[in-house]
Amino acid sequence: MRRRFKGASVDATEAGGEVAATEAGEGPERWTSGRKADVVLRLLRGEDVATVSREIGVPAHQLEEWRRVFVEGGKGHLRSRGEPDQERELTRARAKVGELMMELELAEGLLKKRGFGDDLKKLGR
């Protein structure tokens, strides 16, 4: 398998084992989330950041950022409840919707009492 990385083109075995870099070529057109995840999993399995950085031509600080984002994202998906701020905002929104529904029902009741019931039917209420 031949891949192109910044400043080098790389030959890799299908098993993901040995990798040989040669001069030439441009960086990859795009690092997909899948490719980033593969690199992060290598780091999480214990491979040295500097070695992986040199091998794929991505700065070590960028690899550390990918790892941080990957781990934080995983933590977020393991939570059974949302963030406290999100829960509070959702509770407030539900209360507001309930309040507006009650106001609408009261307004419709007043309109019907005043003889505007036919107008409400036209509106689908």
Residue range 67-103, pLDDT digits in tens: 999 998 887 777 766 667 788 888 999 999 999 999 9
Phi, psi of 81 (to 5 degrees): -125, 160
The ranges of the chain with pLDDT < 50 are 1-2, 7-25
What are the contacts of 37-41 at 24+ separation with CB within 8 A? 37/70, 39/63, 39/66, 40/66, 40/67, 40/70
Query: How does strand 19-23 pair with strand 2-5?
Result: unpaired
Find how far residue 72's CA is from the centre of its chain. 11
Query: How does strand 8-12 pair with strand 19-23?
Result: antiparallel
Per-chain mean pLDDT for the chain: 77
Say if residues 62 and 56 touch (Cβ distance below 8 Å): no
**3-class secondary-structure state, position 41:** helix
Percent of the chain with pLDDT over 90: 42
The closest of 99, 100, 116, 97 to 108, measured between CA atoms, is 116
Tokens of 34: 């899948």
List residues bridging with 17 in a β-sheet: none
Q: Give the separation between CA 47 and CA 27, rounded to whole angstroms.
A: 22
